[in-house]
Chains A and B, each alone.
Chain A
Amino acid sequence: MRTYKNDEIIDAVVIGTGAGGAPLLARLAKAGLKVVALEAGKNWSPKIDFATDEREQNKLFWNFERLSGGGDPIGFGKNNSGIGVGGSTLHYTAYTPRPQPHSFKLYSYFGVGNNWPIGYTDLEPYFEELEQFLGISGPSPYPWGPARKKGYPLPPLPLNGPAQLMQRGCNKMGIKTSPAANAALSADYFQEQIGWRKACTNRGFCQAGCSTGAKASMDVTYIPYAIYYGAEVRAECMATAFEKNSEGKITGVVYKKYGNEERQLCRNVFICAGAIETPRLLLMNNLANSSGQVGKNFLAHVGLQVWGEFDENVRPYKGIPGGLISEDMVLPTDVNFSSGYLIQSIGVMPVTYATQLARAGKIWGEELRKKMRSFNQVAGINMHGECLSSEKNYLELSDEEDEMGLPKPRILFTAGDNEKKMSDHGEKVMRQIWKEAGAKNLLSYHRKAHTLGTCRMGNNREEAVVNKDGNSYDVPNLFICDGSVFATSLSVNPALTIMALSLRTADLFLQKKQTGAHS
């Protein structure tokens, strides 16, 4: 790996190596720029370091404490926040559906939420590029959304027990289903500058780290690609502050490495630390916040899960967890809420399931032991729905310090009327699917998924933190690219959209750099 000295003025520092940081790091490096990525977590060797054990794999989660409040406090850590080279893609389930066009124009469609300053067509070429580069497995043609120029490069992954059961229930109800698009390889796949990645072995442990490299997390795709083209990735380096010149431009990024403070000089900064750490870093430094919008509009998807026990042996730990999808409810008619949701089958690992029985089911003692002896009979369905922005939902800095001596973030979240109605609708549909499929002992787990929206993009500098190019309105050489720039939550799993934004942010930056608008 090429390395750079701290006092060399490099073209860009990228903070974070997940879905927001890694693709743009690769794009900038390939264009010949001198780039360094700072990653707070470790650089793992998955084959050696990743055990098929949930508790051991807690090392993949952002475990610095956050305070969670409001009417519906959100669980962080393993629910939605990663750390390590690859960021949250180390533990994402690899769901990669495309958002549908109306989701970007929520206000125009429904008169609620916002419109994005960009639309589906701005991201479409990037969706296609990502699907081809990462080797996404999925059905072609895809049954929902606009027609596509190219199909997925690989056929869908095989259906596991939960997927078959959801298919059975949905067939009886007339709900259309399809094998889902997943960023895990259904066959060996060759990747430029990386080589052959081997097909998925159906380990089912995507959420606790893929040890085979079949899942397209950033550490096995864009990170090695970026390093090939000359990027440096500095693990265990936590960005904490910035140096600025008299024009208000950032000239250096201060970071902590093994307790010592260091500083990398640079011409540009891309913050890609996710929708909690990005606003926390900006608020700590009173940066890029003339709009007062940093930390505001926190969004978390409606993510209710319904579990059922079946007479059939499911053994839900095998196969890609999210094998089957239905997007029939993404734009539903005759409902009492705006926007919509998709539903996905879910396989599960035992500790995750047990913890849900404990928290949501309030089950313990002999009853919990008995329920867990039926673990091999269990299957789940999950909904994934739009969350509207609200003034009640935001992030602020608390007075408490974390292990790094930095202020802990406090996140307040209360589900709104629209989310509640959507969740009720989804729960009813999913419980019916499970009953039709033959499930007993249903359990609903009210969950919120993903962290989004705290540095949103927009056309108006008084209402947004970044413009449609991801460029800060206040600091000309600062860019933000991760889930925080989402103007609406979109009713799909966000990783593919974050990666598409990442490539687009890099391309627009490079275009403007050529014209001299960026240095």
Chain B
Amino acid sequence: MDYKYPEGSIVALLNTDLVTDITKKVLIERGQEKDYQPLFFTLPDFECLTVVCDCLMAQNSNNRMVTMAHAIDTRLNCKTGNGWRYNNMPPDDEMYREGLKGINKTANLLYNKKFIDLPKNHQLEVLGAVQKGLGDGFEWDQLQQQQFFEEMLAEVTEVFFSHPLVQDEMGYAGMADAKGWEKIRLNEREEREPIGIKIETRN
């Protein structure tokens, strides 16, 4: 099943007293895309990661909603983490550097091009191979590619789905809770919660 929500209904809530001050501050700031120069990645790596992120979140690179690579670059530059990593994986900074090398190598072996120069369908093919552990290239002898894919996907997912424009697309109104919720049972809705239109799909 798929749903479509009226565009802008969630973003419009952010400036109201239905959202607490701190929540407002966090979400409005996050919604403002700024010019960004990478602090951790080299420029080619940063550009590659940006396009990888677009593929992972099915985002049009010419009309981006969120640039996930900003958040990843900032985090790696500050050396903060999420509290754990797989014992058989290198530290996050090394993992990203080596993983991007691996993605470019797999792209090169398949199509003799850098990842960012491939058409979208080939980019998806390369990433699909890495997810399944089938990416070619000696770089993957050193780095467990399936776990790299999972770790990167989890981080990108967190950044993407916490963006107000994406939450708008989902019709997610949870942030507008300054007055709490009274209508919490099945099919109950408060006025500020948008109504989604169901779109029938084959699956």
Contacts and interface: CB of A to CB of B under 8 A. Distances in A.
Interface stretch (A225-233, A259-267, A360-368): A360-368
Interface string A51-72: 1111110100111111111100
B111 interface: no
Contact of B175 (A53, A63, A201, A403): A53
B44 interface: no
B177 A369 contact: no
A69 B86 contact: yes
A320 B169 CA distance: 25
Given A203-B181, A355-B154, A370 B2 contact: yes
Contacts of A211: 20
Contacts of B84: 65-68, 74-77
A373 B55 CA distance: 18
Nearest to B19: A52
A354 B157 contact: yes
Nearest to B21: A48
Interface string A486-506: 000000000000000000000
B184 interface: yes
A270 interface: no
A205 interface: yes
B64 interface: no
A335 B157 CA distance: 39
B158 A55 contact: yes
B80 A63 contact: yes
Contact of B55 (A69, A158, A365): A365
Q: How large is the interface on B (under 10, 10 to 19, 20 to 34, 35 or more residues)?
A: 35 or more
Contact of B87 (A68, A159, A161, A377): A68
A77 B82 contact: yes
A349 interface: yes
B150 interface: yes
Contacts of B12: none
B34 interface: no
A78 B82 contact: yes
A376 B27 contact: no
A47 B83 CA distance: 25
B9 interface: no
A17 to B, nearest CB: 18
The size class of the interface chain A forms with chain B is 35 or more
B3 A358 contact: no
B83 A81 contact: yes
Contacts of A159: 185
Interface in B59-105: 79-88, 91
A237 to B, nearest CB: 20
A373 B160 CA distance: 13
B40 interface: no
A93 to B, nearest CB: 16
A373 to B, nearest CB: 5
B167 interface: yes
B23 A53 contact: yes
A359 B150 contact: yes
A312 B57 CA distance: 27
Contacts of A77: 81-84
B58 A313 contact: no
Interface in B118-177: 124, 127, 131, 150, 153-154, 157-162, 166-167, 169-175, 177
A319 B184 CA distance: 6
A92 to B, nearest CB: 16
A159 B83 CA distance: 33
A351 interface: yes
B79 A355 contact: no
A63 B83 contact: yes
B184 A73 contact: no
A349 B81 CA distance: 21
B193 interface: yes
B177 A52 contact: yes
A350 interface: yes
A203 B82 contact: no
A317 interface: yes
Given A359-B154, A374-B1, A55 B83 contact: no
Q: Give the 9 A-B residue pairs with the shortest CB-CB distance, closest first.
A: A77-B83, A201-B180, A69-B87, A317-B174, A76-B84, A319-B184, A366-B58, A55-B162, A318-B184
Given A201-B177, A350-B167, 5 more contacts: A62-B83, A65-B83, A158-B185, A312-B187, A354-B158
Interface of B: 1-5, 19-23, 25-27, 30, 55-58, 79-88, 91, 124, 127, 131, 150, 153-154, 157-162, 166-167, 169-175, 177, 179-189, 193, 196, 201
9 contacts: A56-B23, A67-B87, A68-B86, A204-B181, A205-B177, A350-B161, A355-B157, A368-B58, A373-B5
